[in-house]
Structure formats: structure tokens, C-alpha cells
Amino acid sequence: TTIWSSTYPVPSEPQQIPVGRPIANTQMYVVDHNVQPVAVGVTGELLIGGAGVARGYLGRPELTAEKFVPSPFAASGTNRLYRTGDLARFLPDGNIELLGRIDHQVKIRGHRVELGEIETRLNEHPTVSDSVVVAHETGEGHKQLVAYVIPRKGEKPAPNQLRRYAGEKLPDYMLPSKVVFLAAFPQTPNRKIDRKALAAMEPGEGTPEHEYDPPGTAVETAMAEYWRELLTVPRVGRHDNFFELGGDSLLALHLAAWVRDQYEVDLPLRSLFEHPTVAGLAAEIEARTWSAAAPPRLAAAADREEVEI
């Protein structure tokens, strides 16, 4: 037996498929943590009211109390609402779009991140068939977002391309540090995506956009080795990008402190954003080191003053 609460007429070539609008005698609400409605476009939990709301879970009073809550809305048709646990938002046309599950929320750099919202954005890219985003634990308690992507047949999207596309609508702390392409996702015995299996995978380097080019100078070699340890990646080439390997503003502070300790150079964070590769940043450090060590300029003859002794 199946039940449903909403309907949506699917067009011939849909860009995305929302769950639509509630059916007759049913109400759907998108609310915040205080069970208050959120604005159009804002993500919240989807609650359902109306004639289809059940009395509860058989023999499970604790779960019933958690999922079936008093309704603060007079129009709900019942005195209770069902908490779906789904993240959703109202679209401008009145339809509701699902964005994932509440239990797929993680905290990244102090921000609560809804993984389903990132997946929804990636799936809107014309080269992407499906995606799953998981949070991988890295060294020192840091979490790193990794996007596992199944490309559409015949397509080969570049990781940078997908990150830039996601960044058009998402803040930087929601952008995947790595993009890994797969032919299929691992599944549970119930044929659902096995997120635990993905989280246990070693993301490695993802799919590089360039051939590996080893560090050349002594500064490049030292920096590549430090990046490898800091970002927990197998290897770092001279053209690898700090942020594409999983770096963020917090790790950039660690890098700036390392540069100060190793080369006695105060490197502003702006320099890392302007020169995010090993080669670029090494050249910047060498230039600043040379400038600091250069002898003072002698005054030109015309600027000299004769003094009798």
C-alpha cells in the first residue's frame, strides 16, 4: 500500500522535478526549528497536515511523540502535523522542492550545511546524472565535503567546472573540496544509496584536470610536502590548486603561519587567493624573500651632498 500527499504534472523536458503541491484535504508546510513558516526559497523541514495524517506508529509511543506534533496552524485540518524529516523549500511558483534529509546535515567551518542542497545544485548541471555529497573526516578534526558524481553518458565534466557552477548559488563553505566521478553509487540491501560506504571511501585526488608536474625549486618542494600533510592528499604537483585540493580559509591560516616560520615572510591571505598553486605561491614567497634581503639602494650622485671633514 502506498499513500501520497502531493502531485506535480511533469513536463516533457523538465529541468528539475519538485514534489509539487498538496492534494485535496492536505496541507504542506516548510518550517524552521521553532515550527514557524520560512520564506519562499528558504530551506526548512517539510511538515504535512490534513486528512491523511495517521494516528501514530503502532507500539512506538516515543517515535510517535517525535514525529507527530501539535499543529500551530488553524488551516491544517487536524490538531497534529507529521514531521517528514525531509528538507524542502517553496519555489516561486508555489511548488515544493525536496533537498534531502535532515539527518544528512553536517557542520562545516561552524556552518550547518545541508548536503541535499549541494546535491540539488550539482544535479542541475547539464553534464551530471546524479550526485551524492558526503563529509569526510580529515586530520585534526576537520571535515571536508566530497562530491561523488555520476556524469551523463558521453559527458566528462571538469571538477573546476562543477565547483564554479555550484558557487554561483552556494556560499564557499558549501562547495565540495573534491569531486570524484563514479559509474554507479554503492547500494544497501534495500537498494538505496549507501552513504556510509561512500563516507568510508578514500576520495584520493578525484579527477585531475592536468598532468602531474612535480615541484621544481626547493621552495616548491617544501611547500608541496607541507600541503600534502595539511590537506591529507597522496601527492601535490606544482600546478595543483590549494582550494581544489580541499583547502579553506582556516587551513590557509595554517599555511600562512608555516610560511612565516619557514621563510620569515608575512604572507597576506590575499596572496594565497591570487596565487593558489604551489608554483605561484612559491614564486611569490621567493620574490618577497629577495625583496627583504636586497641591499639598500645607494643614493644617486645628483642626490649626494659634499661634507668637509
**Tens digit of each residue's pLDDT (9 = 90 or more) over 76-118:** 556 889 999 888 999 999 999 988 788 777 888 777 888 888 9
For residues 134 and 153, membership in a common domain is answered with yes
The fraction of the chain above a pLDDT of 90, given in percent, is 26
Reported confidence tier of residue 203, pLDDT bands at 50, 70, 90: low
Kindly state whether residues 238 and 176 are assigned to the same domain.
no
Asked if residue 286 is part of any domain, the answer here is yes
The stretch 225-245 carries a mean pLDDT of 84
* Residue 60 domain-assigned (yes or no): yes
Kindly state the average pLDDT of the residues 111-126: 88
Both 120 and 196 in one domain: the answer is: yes
* Domain match, 165 and 231 both: no
C-alpha cell at position 57: 506508529
Please check whether residues 87 and 60 belong to one and the same domain: yes
pLDDT at 276: 86
pLDDT the model gives residue 207? 47
Grid cell listed for 94: 508555489
pLDDT above 60 (res 210): no
Nearest to 265 by CA among 278, 279, 248, 283: 283
What is the pLDDT averaged over residues 185-214? 76
For the segment 141-153, what is each residue's pLDDT rounded down to a tens digit? Answer: 677 888 999 999 8
Are residue 117 and residue 46 in the same domain, yes or no?
A: no
Number of other CB atoms surrounding residue 216 within 10 Å: 13
At 149 the pLDDT is 94
Do 76 and 118 sit in the same domain of this protein?
no
Residue percentage of the chain with pLDDT more than 70: 86
CATH number at residue 71: 2.30.38.10
Same domain, yes or no, for 124 and 153?
A: yes
162, part of any domain: yes
pLDDT digit string (tens) for 45-59?
999 988 888 888 888
Shared domain check, 240 and 189: no
Is position 42 within any domain? yes
Cell for 25?
484535504
Average pLDDT estimate for 237-260: 84
Q: Are strands 143-151 and 178-181 parallel, antiparallel or unpaired?
A: parallel
Last residue of one domain, picked from the residues 154, 172, 200: 200
Q: Is the predicted pLDDT of residue 201 greater than 90, yes or no?
A: no
- 32 found inside a domain: yes
| pLDDT digit string, tens, across residues 8-46 | 988 887 767 888 999 998 999 999 988 899 999 998 999
Q: How many domains does the chain have?
A: 3
Q: Report the alpha-carbon distance of residue 31 to residue 15 in Å, rounded.
A: 26
Same domain, 24 and 74: yes
CATH of the domain at 124: 3.30.300.30
pLDDT digits (tens, 9 = 90+) for 152-199: 988 888 887 898 899 888 888 888 888 889 999 998 888 888 988 888
- Residues 263-282, mean pLDDT to the nearest whole number: 87
Both 93 and 142 in a single domain? no
Q: Which of 101, 120, 148 is the last residue of a domain?
A: 101
Could you tell me the CATH number of the domain that includes residue 222?
1.10.1200.10
Which positions ≥6 away from 227 have C-beta within 8 Å?
Answer: 233, 236, 240, 242, 245, 247, 255, 278
User: Rounded to a whole number, what is the largest CA-CA distance in the chain?
Assistant: 109
Are 89 and 143 members of one domain? Answer: no
Of 70, 101, 132, which closes a domain?
101
Question: Is residue 212 assigned to a domain?
Answer: no
- Can you give the pLDDT at residue 294? 47
Ranges of H-type helices in 4-84: 61-67
**Is position 211 within any domain?**
no
Separation between Cα atoms, residue 232 and residue 300, nearest integer Å: 52
Domain of 48, in residue numbers = 10-101
Residue 308 placed within a domain: no
